[in-house]
Structure 1
Amino acid sequence: MSLFESSQSNAASQQNQQSNQAQLEEAKGTDLFLFASLASIAFSMYEYYVKGDTERALFVGQWPQTILAMALYLRQRRQNN
């Protein structure tokens, strides 16, 4: 009986490790998209306030929404698979 219980606990342990690994990989990807969005905002502010190029600042300032939308799409697609 103890042999059976130990095999079940090993299987549960492996499932927990796989789940933790998947969560870690998702967090890394999410961090990358968040960093890209923040960098886009910072670059947009630089273009507007430092360089005075309002058109380019507005163009770059619209990227964060697209980047975050792509992150949400990829997360949803990964969860469905």
Structure 2
Amino acid sequence: MSCCTLDKVPAGSKATIKGYCGCSRERGRLCALGITPGTVVEVCGPCSVKVREACVALGMEMAEQVTCEPLENDPRA
């Protein structure tokens, strides 16, 4: 599938984080939350994801800054 931003991934789907579009402050916060490039996350809702067994709430503006690739039948997911 093609890349999109995290806010465009439907709830219940998984995606691989590809990178960030925002400023360094936002990138630092995302990294601190475990949302790093290569990480597989599960979208719980429009502004929340499950990452490394923790549910993390993001603001819509921050979710719009995260680029990802939705997964389909990926054995890693």
Q: Same fold (TM over 0.5)?
A: no
Asked which structure has the greater RCO (Cα within 8 Å, sep 6+), the reply is 2
TM-score range, shorter chain: under 0.3
